[in-house]
Structure 1
Amino acid sequence: MLIKIDNTIKYGKQHGGFGIQILYPGLMLPELNDTGYATIGRIDQARITPGTLIPMHHHKNDEILTYLRSGKVKHKDSEGHSDIISNQKLMMMNAGSNFFHEEKTLEEDGTLEGLQIFIRPEVDGLKPQVQFHQLSETYSINQWRKIAGKGDDYPLQIRSNTWIMDMQLQKGEEMFLPELSIENTSFLFYVFKGEIQFNANVQINTGESTLIENENPIFVASETTDIVLFITQTDAKHFDGGMYSGNLQ
């Protein structure tokens, strides 16, 4: 299976300086009767102007990765954390049973661009927690970098069978999906910014993605491209009633 997801399927929201494009990956497979895809609930690509406040608000039963590529945001939450998130400092909010947070983009650091990623936990009602990770480099050039997932070799932990990697593929370079010793895996290949050709006849651009199962295509960068790769175990146990990651149908 190899299904391209273009930007027409996304839901756009704009409120003042806060704008997002929302992807529900399961909409590409209506036979699943699920807006999510296994453990991947929802992906928001955000563009937020400096000085925008997103007031304290509630989350429940979502594993939430904040992955920025530009701008900075001041974070506060109900677990007592206060920190600055940037393109070199990532944050995982494991919302669990009850969690609140607020974010304010900083005036001096330009427009924020990034992803807010909602992953489904294995079960509901887990203990809330917050994790931070400082990247040694902003970009991982031409090689897969582990960002978040289940297992000690991932710096940010997700409480379900889900794994997230990233890469910046330079113009003209080619790559393959990573080799994994995990059964029944599927991939969501997301182009954050740039342009990728795969199998020499399909093109995906900024904001577009591809669902891949039982395929190993060759990817070539038409221009330098930032990629985020989501890996899910399609038969893994997961809770699909999260506040944002849950099935909307």
Structure 2
Amino acid sequence: MKTILHKAAERGHANHGWLDSYHSFSFAHFYDPEKVHFGALRVLNDDTVKAGFGFSKHPHDNMEIVSIPLFGDLEHKDSTGRHEIIKQNDVQIMSAGSGIAHSEMNANKDKEVKFLQVWVFPKEQNITPRYEQKTFNPEDRNNKILTVVAPDNKDAVWINQDAWFSLGKMDKDFSTTYLIKNNGNGVYAFVLEGEVTIGGQKLGKRDALGIWDTDNISITATTNAEVLLIDIPMKLEGVA
């Protein structure tokens, strides 16, 4: 088993006033040659957007873009005419494919929105742009690992990659073993709340651990905790 530790305090950080953003991987003005990507995982941004502000319309292509609201409501508009509101306990994916433009705004005038935006390199290039979002019952991840993004699970949102995103909310002292889905995949474990021990490594809030060259990982909550697991191909054609 191989691992790489990314401490929360070592992430890139940019505060633009309306946007307070932490970058787990090189993004915008933050560049770390050791943090360009983890396999097919390219971006994990931890964003807080002030009330009434957001990202104006901008283009993407050939990227799988997953948004996970942690607090508040996010308004999505795109060049296909789609207009949606994404709320806490929702998960949204946009397959940019051959090209799409979208905007993401805080839908509220009286409170901030906090969300994770995750970019994954696609399995197939130049597909027709695609959008999907689903609401997940938070009780379904109590002391369980709930899959919310998958290429092969109708109960999750679909992704154009052999990748699986899972969320878990665990009581103190709860332990479980996560089985990695595909041979050659690794897992990027990101702690949303609390403290956990994963693969023998102690992690706090917003710490992350990349794990590969194994077929399973052990997870123990040392406090009440929440985690995001991104099960991702470690080798990808065209990506160094």
Q: TM-score by structure 2 length? A: 0.87
Q: Give the Cα separation in 1 of the matches to 2:180 and 2:36.
A: 27
Instruction: Give the match's secondary structure for 2:138.
Output: coil
Deviation at 1:187, TM superposition (A): 0.9
* Deviation (angstroms), 1:128: 0.9
Give the AA of the match of 2:224: T
1:186 touches 1:231 (CA, 8 Å); kept in 2? Answer: yes
Aligned position for 2:118: 117
2:206 alignment counterpart: 207
Question: CA-to-partner distance for each residue in 1:80-108, whole Å, 9 max, x for gaps?
Answer: 11111011222101111211111221336
Alignment of 1:55-66 (within 5 A): 55-66=56-67
Distance, in Å, in 1 between the alignment partners of 2:13 and 2:126 is: 30
Partner letter of residue 97 of structure 1? S
- Secondary structure of the 2:187 match is strand
> Would you say how many aligned residue pairs link Structure 1 and Structure 2?
234
AA of the residue aligned to 1:135 = F
1:142-161 Cα offsets, whole Å, 9 max, x none, are: 11111112113452111111
1:103 counterpart SS class = strand
The aligned residue for residue 162 of structure 2 is 161
SS in 1 for 2:80: coil
Q: Secondary structure at the residue paired with 1:24?
A: coil
Which residue is equivalent to 1:36? 37
State the alpha-carbon separation in 2 of the partners of residues 206 and 136 from structure 1: 23
For 1:210, the aligned partner's letter is L
**Distance verdict in 2 for CA 1:178–1:28, change over 3 Å:** farther
Bigger relative CO (Cα 8 Å, ≥ 6 apart): 1
Which of 136-145 and 55-64 deviates more?
Answer: 136-145
Secondary structure at 1:223's aligned position in 2? coil
CA distance in 2, matches of 1:194, 1:52: 29
Q: Which residue does 2:81 correspond to in 1?
A: 80
Aligned residues: CA RMSD: 2.5
Kindly, what percent of the aligned residue pairs are identical?
Answer: 17
Unaligned runs of 5+ in 1: 241-246
Deviation at 1:20?
1.0
